Amino acid sequence: MSVSATTTPPAPANPKSRVILASLVGTTIEFYDFYVYATAAVLVFPYLFFPAGNETTALLSSFAIFGAAMVARPLGAVFFGHLGDKVGRKTTLVAALLTMGIATFLIGLLPTYLVIGWFAPLLLVILRLAQGFALGGEWSGAALVATENAPVGKRAWYGTFPQLGAPIGFIIANGLFLIIAFALPSDDPSRPSDAFLDWGWRIPFLFSAVMVIVGLWVRLKLVESEAFTNTVKAGKVVKLPLKLVFKSNWRELILGTFFMLATYVLFYLMTTFSLSYGRAPIDPAEGQQPGLGYSYNTFVLMLIAGVVFFGIFTLLSGPWADKFGRRKTLIIVTSGIIVFGLLWVPLLGGGFVGVMAFLIIGFSLMGMTFGPMGALLPELFPTNVRYTGSGISYNVSSILGAAVAPFIAVWLWAMADGSPFLVGIYLAVMGVITLIALIIGKETKDIDIDR
């Protein structure tokens, strides 16, 4: 008795569960590592890695190092993008994850300024640059694993899974910091305890090693996507993807960069700056700016509550973008971001209810704008330059948005005598720039991902 070979369709190279887990676990770890630094940049590093003096200056210095990683991200996008478009997505993703994990673990071992002087911030800068370099290669690879393996009509939904790593990584990182802060309480609500500053802050950085091992185990089980395999078989792999993408897809590079601008600015204002503003005392000492006066523990719990909405709306945004299109969905959401920027002062001045409304609305908008990017940016580029092109757009935008956002926000906060009004205007202006880019751009919903 013979059995027809055509009766059962072949199983996909990467099963659905493996695609979702591999794209999610890596970005969760990468964003966990990034958020651990972001939290420490506000909470710990101004005390430990810079000389004692003006607290605003120390905070700005810490944010400057935070921003340095964003400068390294486009370099990582070029390096890992070249590997990803030449040798494949799997090997490149493993290399990016290892680079990020090692850099984060070593930050947890660094001596402080009191021990080695200016070598402490210097080493911190180097390892922070390594973090940014790794993240420059991580995101686009994870997005490609999701979208290149997605069923027809579900690319945006699959593309939300690497995006979901951002809120999950935030919750794990800040939840761990919060547990340590509860275990090592401080008598001064505006400053961590001595035990926390001595050794407690190192735990989240060292814990990243465990997460990296899990991520590597998942990613080593991946096989290459059909889109990349077909590109190899067709002989379309190019020697210099960077050269080709600048020659043939320069318009998409520019548009993709500005598509992400408002997303990045909102992202880091809602996480890094809001933590600074929320914890700043209402009646500050000289050298400080006034804020909301919440304790660290209280405000982080409020942030985590807001980030839950970030996760929910990241997932919801995928089906919306698949149904209505990426461009239409993002035009509506970006218009909401502009309005949100203009409402900062009344929301933040509305007591606990107003602050929670600020966090919930801001993080919900964050989810709705961040989710569709997992499909939109890869869809802008053909397969043989997709890793490079999407990575460059995503990470150059990190310089224009995320690298300077916390720094500009602190400066505007000081310029306005402690009012967040100018910070909200800054977000609204960045939203207008993104809105213009979206209006100029074209819909990518029905583009052939195997091209």
pLDDT digits (tens, 9 = 90+) for 68-83: 777 788 888 889 888 8
- Residues 6 or more apart from 105 whose CB is under 8 A from it? 205, 206, 208, 209
DSSP 270: I
- The CA–CA distances, whole Å, from 153 to 3, 123, 325 equal 32, 47, 11
Domains of the chain: 16-440 (1.20.1250.20)
Question: Residue 190: its pLDDT value, please?
Answer: 62
Share of residues in the chain with pLDDT > 90 (%): 29
DSSP 9: P
Share of residues in the chain with pLDDT > 70 (%): 90
Tell me the C-alpha distance between 150 and 16, whole Å: 8
Q: Are 371 and 163 in contact (CB under 8 A)?
A: yes
User: Which range (8-12, 211-215, 256-260, 298-302) has the least confidence?
Assistant: 8-12
- Residues 6 or more apart from 261 whose CB is under 8 A from it? 397, 400, 401, 430, 433, 434, 437
Question: Residue 4: its pLDDT value, please?
Answer: 41
Question: Residue 246: its pLDDT value, please?
Answer: 92
Q: Are 25 and 217 in contact (CB under 8 A)?
A: no
Tell me the C-alpha distance between 250 and 371, whole Å: 24
Tell me the C-alpha distance between 68 and 318, whole Å: 31
Question: Residue 189: its pLDDT value, please?
Answer: 64
Q: Are 89 and 227 in contact (CB under 8 A)?
A: no
Read off the pLDDT of residues 272-309 as tens digits, 9 standing for 90 and up.
Answer: 788 888 887 877 666 667 778 888 788 889 999 999 99
Of 442, 435, 137, 424, give the one whose Cα is nearest residue 261: 435
Average pLDDT, the chain: 84
- The CA–CA distances, whole Å, from 362 to 269, 307, 310, 356, 415 equal 9, 9, 8, 10, 23
Read off the pLDDT of residues 43-59 as tens digits, 9 standing for 90 and up.
Answer: 777 777 776 655 666 66
Tell me the C-alpha distance between 318 and 329, whole Å: 10
User: Which range (63-77, 243-257, 426-440) has the least confidence?
Assistant: 63-77
Burial of 87 (0-12, 13-18, 19+ CB in 10 A): middle
- The CA–CA distances, whole Å, from 314 to 163, 233, 319, 373, 449 equal 7, 35, 10, 10, 22
More confident residue, 217 or 431: 431
Of 25, 406, 4, 24, give the one whose Cα is nearest residue 211: 25
Question: Residue 286: its pLDDT value, please?
Answer: 64
Burial of 290 (0-12, 13-18, 19+ CB in 10 A): middle
319: pLDDT strictly greater than 90:
yes
- The CA–CA distances, whole Å, from 189 to 230, 278, 350, 356, 418 equal 58, 12, 22, 20, 19
Question: Residue 228: its pLDDT value, please?
Answer: 77
Mean pLDDT of 214-232: 76
Q: Are 36 and 128 in contact (CB under 8 A)?
A: no
Tell me the C-alpha distance between 222 and 224, whole Å: 7
pLDDT confidence tier of residue 178, bands split at 50, 70 and 90: confident
Query: Which residue carries 């940016």 as its tokens?
Result: 377
8: pLDDT strictly greater than 60:
no
Query: Which residue carries 């979206």 as its tokens?
Result: 438
Interior angle at CA 65, CA 108 and CA 292, nearest 5: 90
**E-strand spans in 122-207?**
none
Which range has the top average pLDDT, 78-82, 369-373, 403-407? 369-373
